[in-house]
Amino acid sequence: MAVVQYISVLLALISVQAKLKLWPYSDGLEVDLQRLNQEELEGDECSSCMPLADSNEEDLLKVQRFNCERISKANTDFSRLAGLYGQAVDESWKTRISNAQKLCDQATNATDVLKQAELATCAWGVVLMRNRECCNIPGPPYCVSSAQSKWARASVLALAVFGSLLAAAVAKCCQGSFYSASLVRCEQPEQTSPSVSSTEPPTGDFGVYTAGEIDSLDQKLKEDLTRRWKGCTLVELVKSEPGDLSKEVVDTFAKFRWDFDFQEDSVKNQFEHFVSLWRSHCAAHADRRAADQGHLLERGLESLEEELLHGFLAWRDELEIKVRLRPGQSAVGALRKQKLENIVLYLLVWGEAGNLRFMPEMLYFITYILSVSTPPRIVHKGRSSAFLVDIVRPIYKVVFEEHHECVAVKSNKDAKKLREGFDTYLPADSANYDDWNELFMDADRLCTTLEWLQENDIDTYHQLKTVNWKQKLSGVKTHRELHSWWGVFAATHRLWFLHVLLYLLCMFIVSESLADDARGWKVYLAGNSTQTCLSCVGLLVPLHIFAWRMGSWFTTGSALRRHCNK
Torsion of CA 339, 345, 350, 351, to 10 degrees: 120
Mean pLDDT of the chain: 75
pLDDT band for position 88 (50/70/90)?
low
- DSSP secondary structure code for residue 388 in this structure: I
Taking residues 143-149, what's their average pLDDT?
Answer: 61
pLDDT of 160 over the 80 cut: no
pLDDT band for position 346 (50/70/90)?
very high
Q: Average the pLDDT over each of 48-57, 156-165, 195-204, 310-319 and give the range with the smallest value.
A: 195-204
Q: Average the pLDDT over each of 139-148, 177-186, 328-337, 478-487 and give the range with the smallest value.
A: 177-186
Alpha-carbon gap, residue 122 to 131, rounded angstroms: 9
pLDDT of 267 over the 70 cut: yes
Three-class secondary structure of residue 426 per DSSP: coil
Three-class secondary structure of residue 301 per DSSP: helix
Find the radius of gyration of the CA atoms of the chain.
40
Task: Render pLDDT for 456-507 as a digit per residue (tens, 0 to 9).
Answer: 778 889 999 999 999 998 888 888 887 788 888 888 999 999 999 898 888 7
Instruction: For residue 103, count other CB atoms closer than 10 A to its CB.
Output: 25
pLDDT of 338 over the 50 cut: yes
Taking residues 360-375, what's their average pLDDT?
Answer: 92
- The DSSP annotation for 17-71 comes to HIIIIISPPPTT----GGGGGSS---GGGSTTS---TT--HHHHHHHHHHHHHHH
Taking residues 206-216, what's their average pLDDT?
Answer: 79
Q: Average the pLDDT over each of 16-30, 91-105, 255-269 and give the range with the smallest value.
A: 16-30
Q: Are 480 and 555 in contact (CB under 8 A)?
A: yes
Strand 404-410 vs strand 413-418: parallel, antiparallel, or unpaired? antiparallel
Three-class secondary structure of residue 217 per DSSP: helix
pLDDT of 315 over the 50 cut: yes
pLDDT of 252 over the 90 cut: yes
User: Of the candidates 259, 300, 256, which has an alpha carbon nearest to the alpha carbon of residue 276?
Assistant: 300
Most confident of 126-135, 150-159, 248-257, 529-538: 248-257
pLDDT band for position 310 (50/70/90)?
very high
**pLDDT at position 347, please?**
96
pLDDT of 193 over the 50 cut: no
Q: Are 354 and 392 in contact (CB under 8 A)?
A: yes
